[in-house]
Amino acid sequence: MDAWDAAWSGRDSAAFLRICTPEIHYEDPLTLTPLEGLEALGAHAAQIWESFPDARLEPLGPRIVDGDLISAPAKLLATNRAPLGGLPATNRFVVVPMIFYCELRERRLARVRAFFDLYDAGVQLGLLPARGTFGGRALMMLRGFGLRPGR
């Protein structure tokens, strides 16, 4: 997992070749469908690096290993310097806690699924209203979650 963090932090998609199987299956909240293969993972990483050129991953706590399965908490630290997904650059710094669930095959990453709070990242970037604010409640109501009693 140190090599995984270093690959993301080093902005070198070739680094994934050494630590992932050729048919790596990867997904995170920014991918619409799971990515298959090193080329798709590299293209996804390149988009992230273009929008967040100083992006780096750091361990956030103990990693849990059970045979060929790994759970690895981490945090992404980055400044949004270029558009991402059609949204403008905000030039804001974000700290996004995340967890990676991974499956190894022959000591290489075969499946990786990243979980993080995409809404919180949007709030940090200034793209979404904070939870609990008037705007945040209005947005949740429009999304179909209704108003909660007592708030």
Residue numbers of the domain that contains 45: 2-116
Neighbours of 46 (CB within 10 A): 12
Please indicate, yes or no, if residue 138 is contained in any of the structural domains: no
Better-predicted residue by pLDDT, 139 or 84: 84
The string over 128-142, giving b where at least 16 C-beta atoms fall within 10 Å of a residue's C-beta and e elsewhere, is: bbeeeeeeebeebee
pLDDT tens readout for residues 67-112 = 999 999 999 999 999 998 888 999 999 999 999 999 999 999 999 9
Residue 145: pLDDT band by 50, 70, 90 thresholds?
low
pLDDT the model gives residue 129: 74
Q: Quick one: tokens of 121? A: 């990242």
Is 41 within 8 Å of 16 (Cβ atoms)? Answer: yes
Q: Nearest Cα to 125, choosing from 87, 98, 99, 97?
A: 87
Answer yes or no: is 27 within a domain: yes
Is 100 a domain residue?
yes
CATH (domain of 39): 3.10.450.50
In a domain, 18, yes or no: yes
> What integer pLDDT is reported at residue 134 of this predicted model?
66
Q: Give the tens place of pLDDT for each residue, 37-68.
A: 999 999 999 999 999 999 999 999 999 999 99
Which pLDDT belongs to residue 120? Answer: 92
Which H or E run contains 38?
helix 38-51
- Note the pLDDT of residue 54: 97
pLDDT of residue 149: 55
- Number of neighbours of residue 126 by Cβ within 10 angstroms: 12
Name the domain count of the chain: 1
Residues contacting 119, CB < 8 A, separation 6+: 128, 131
Under a CB-based contact definition with an 8 Å cutoff, are residues 128 and 117 in contact? Answer: no
